[in-house]
Amino acid sequence: MQNFTIQYKVYQKRIQILVLFILLTWLSNLKTSGQILTAPNAHTSVPTNYSNYPGEDSIYIFCLPQQSIDEIDVELKAIAPFANPPYTFIWYKYDPDSYKYTAVKSDSLTLMDTSFKTIDKKGLYAVEITRVSTDTIFKNFQKAWVFLNEPEIRIDTIDPSKIEPFNLKGYFNADDTTSRPFNFEYFDPDTSKFLISESTEIEICFTLDHDTLSQLGFYLEPPGSDTLLELLPAISNWHEITDLDSTILGCIDFNQDCDTGINAVDFCFSTSAIQVPCVCEMNFPLSGQYAPAGDWSVLYGENPALNEWEVKFFDCNQNNEGILKNISLTFTDTINDEAITYHHKLENGALEIETSYTCNSLIDLFEYTIPAYRNDTITLENPFTFVWWADPFINIPDSIISFKPLISPYPVFITRFTFTVTDTFGCVFIDTLVFEPAESKLEMPKYFLAPDEEFKPKEAALLRQYNIRIYNRYGQLVFETDDPTDGWDGTNKDKGNINLPSGYYFYILQAVGWDNFYKYLDSSPKANQGESTSGKPDAKKPVIQKGTVYLYRKQ
């Protein structure tokens, strides 16, 4: 017994060591792989392919459930890559307009992981996990994109009362019976590839109309800053509105009004230019590359990626009018032998340049924030395939190539049509339509004109069993068929298709509709049908109808 106890303790110790080894190995692999951010209920994931950003992030793709009334949680899970809690988990959402991460949730936990249901169904999220020991702070920050793949899929309803072939009409992410892929767009998320420095190439261009451009001052202001780069103060008010020496211009004429025309087209200030523009000595329209009157160095240290760069204008003449049409602001620098560019653009604008009323200061400058223009947008293509199916099976021509396949002949039974779309991520989207044909009915003409017409049922497609026998007044059989589309033309086929004379003829008809019964459209025919507690014909027995028809023989 003592040996057994010692042996048991040895095995127990070995098991503890093995468990500890497995746990340390898992933590080591987790830390090495960097996969602290996952999405357990995502359908699949694909890596990013950034254009100007190192490394890869995951794009977690969630598929919308088959029933549109269902919902799915777009949820991320973070697993701490360090041993020994507690940890602080801070969740962030990336704002593409401000190029910034905003904290949206914070958890302090003793557990190894936490989860976060995203605010939006697509976008970039990040988690920062921090653990503070006695002497060291451990941090890990990881990003991931989420994309809830939820295109519209539907089938148009069908009018069953039109007893004729029809087209199914399927829609997939479109308003008409065409299709378009439900792609996902993402972009390089970095906010600080570089800060503006003496190596940064800068260009800002204007296209505008103005009465007197010599009275107009041009300025550029970084986001959230009081710094103002004087691109070109108004020539006509030079001494009143700037401390810059007029010799900077190198112009013969300045501090005066001069009308050089009424517009400027791609009038640019650039780090590659040397000469400041002499507005009063230039021809209409103002155009070309020029150096600013101020110094580019006032922008050093600013973030070119932010989207709140502003252009400002000074015009103290209340009688002047100006329309701002286009602005293009570009920052380019080379990082690790790679050219990186940020664009800010106003395109096809029609902004009125308002007048400043002080005329001796820059207090009332007219300002306009230039929209950031993403040049790093990446499209994750999402091609798809589709197929139509019918239950019970019927042949659907072009079931994998047409959104509007033709169903012919008219189905004479309840049919479930299914439209299934499968995209490149493996998401499957399904819509179904239960088609129920018009209620079966039997309507026989009371007369017909031979040889122009035939005696046969109307809407014969709704009959699945049929037999009619037609007799003359002497009880002789003159016509019989099991095909409801095969009409009697007023001849006796057994006697060489001789034309029969005008008059009444008797018939006995046995028929069963697609739904095992039919309704009489009037009370004149008499029926003998099986007993049924529901008041409908017994499905096992055909309906027997007796009647007469008058044959008019065309002379």
* Range 88-116 average pLDDT: 83
CA dist list (Å): 31 to 24, 27, 55, 146, 521: 10, 6, 16, 22, 79
Instruction: Give 393's pLDDT tier (boundaries 50, 70, 90).
Output: very high
Q: Are 329 and 203 in contact (CB under 8 A)?
A: yes
State what percent of residues in the chain have pLDDT above 70. Answer: 81
Q: Which residues pair with 535 in a beta bridge?
A: none
DSSP 3-state of 96: coil
* Range 80-91 average pLDDT: 81
Q: What is the DSSP letter of 532?
A: -
* Range 425-443 average pLDDT: 88
Q: Which of 108, 145, 111 is nearest to 130 (CA)?
A: 108
CA dist list (Å): 151 to 54, 66, 178, 205, 427: 31, 11, 14, 41, 11
CB count in 10 Å sphere of residue 45: 17
Statement: residue 370 has pLDDT above 80: yes
Q: Which residue has the higher pLDDT, 480 or 533?
A: 480
What average pLDDT does the chain have?
Answer: 82
* pTM of the predicted model over 0.85: no
Read out DSSP for 380-417? E---EEEEEEEES----TTTTT-SS-EE-S---S-EEE
Using CA atoms, how far apart are residues 426 and 492, in angstroms rounded to an integer?
A: 64
* Range 542-547 average pLDDT: 80
Read out DSSP for 457-503? -TTGGGEEEEEEEEE-TTS-EEEEES-TT--B-SEEGGGTSEEPPSE
Using CA atoms, how far apart are residues 204 and 332, in angstroms rounded to an integer?
A: 12
At residue 2, the pLDDT reads 47
Q: Which residue pairs, CB below 8 angstroms and at least 24 apart, start in 96-99?
A: 96/124, 96/187, 96/374, 97/307, 97/372, 98/306, 98/307, 98/308, 99/191, 99/303, 99/305, 99/306, 99/307, 99/372
Instruction: Specify the DSSP element, H or E, that contains 435.
Output: strand 428-435
Instruction: Give 66's pLDDT tier (boundaries 50, 70, 90).
Output: low
Q: Are 366 and 356 in contact (CB under 8 A)?
A: yes
Statement: residue 239 has pLDDT above 60: yes
Q: Which residue has the higher pLDDT, 530 or 95?
A: 95
* Of the candidate ranges 24-33, 172-181, 403-412, the one whose mean pLDDT is the lowest: 24-33
Assigned token pair, 267: 């009038």
**443-486 pLDDT, tens per residue?**
889 999 999 999 998 877 777 789 999 999 999 999 999 998 89
Q: Which residues pair with 148 in a beta bridge?
A: 62
Instruction: Specify the DSSP element, H or E, that contains 429.
Output: strand 428-435
Q: Which residue has the higher pLDDT, 89 or 33?
A: 89
Statement: residue 186 has pLDDT above 70: yes
State what percent of residues in the chain have pLDDT above 90. Answer: 40
Q: Which residues pair with 352 in a beta bridge?
A: 323
Burial of 340 per CB tally in 10 Å (0-12, 13-18, 19+): buried
Amino acid at position 205, single letter: C
* Range 296-300 average pLDDT: 96
Using CA atoms, how far apart are residues 395 and 435, in angstroms rounded to an integer?
A: 15
**271-290 pLDDT, tens per residue?**
999 999 988 888 888 999 99
Q: Which of 523, 529, 554, 534 is nearest to 544 (CA)?
A: 529
Using CA atoms, how far apart are residues 271 and 196, in angstroms rounded to an integer?
A: 12
Statement: residue 48 has pLDDT above 70: yes
CA dist list (Å): 533 to 63, 237, 512, 536, 539: 49, 102, 18, 8, 12
Q: Are 328 and 345 in contact (CB under 8 A)?
A: yes
At residue 30, the pLDDT reads 39
* Of the candidate ranges 179-193, 425-439, 463-477, 489-503, the one whose mean pLDDT is the lowest: 179-193
Residues 6+ apart with CB under 8 A from 410: 163, 164, 165, 166, 437, 461
Burial of 501 per CB tally in 10 Å (0-12, 13-18, 19+): exposed
At residue 81, the pLDDT reads 77
CB count in 10 Å sphere of residue 549: 18
* Range 108-128 average pLDDT: 85
Statement: residue 29 has pLDDT above 80: no
